[in-house]
Structure 1
């Protein structure tokens, strides 16, 4: 079952997001296994948010723990919160 992940970092900036993204996915031609879609934007209350759709929670957790968190820690990034829900419906024309 596909999942929707909302990552929110109150103290994150566009520049910190981009530096982490560049470390985690150095070549966009080779996205992480299981990633369906990725979106990033400023958060409504400040900070930065990333919204992803993944094939499974296992695929997301592997990428988060094995790639994203080490990349963010190497940059001295503050923590962020991740919320995961199952996708009920989608439309990608």
Structure 2
């Protein structure tokens, strides 16, 4: 079942997000297996957030462990909060 993933941190910003994104998805025409949709934006209270839809929780966990966590560590990025919930409904016109 598809999952909605919300990553957020008051300590991240657009530049750090872009540096991480460039490392984990260098070719935008080849997104990671299982990714359905990806959105990134500043938090209203400051910081940064990423909202994704993935085919499964296994797919997002694998991507985080194999790609995001190592890239963030290399960049010296602060930790972020991650929430994963089962998706109830979606509409992608």
Matched residue SS, 1:73: helix
Matched residue SS, 1:53: strand
For 2:43, the equivalent position in structure 1 comes to: 43
Q: Which runs of 5+ in 1 are unaligned?
A: none
- In structure 2, distance between residues paired with 1:83 and 1:41: 16
- In structure 2, distance between residues paired with 1:42 and 1:18: 12
For 1:78, the equivalent position in structure 2 comes to: 78
Moved over 6 A (4+): none
Matched residue SS, 1:79: coil
How many Å apart are 1:70 and its aligned residue?
A: 0.4
Q: After superposition, what is the alpha-carbon deviation per residue over 1:44-75, rounded to whole angstroms, capped at 9, x for unaligned?
A: 22100000000000000000011001001100
TM-score (norm 2): 0.98
Matches within 5 A, 1:31-70: 31-70=31-70
TM-score (norm 1): 0.98
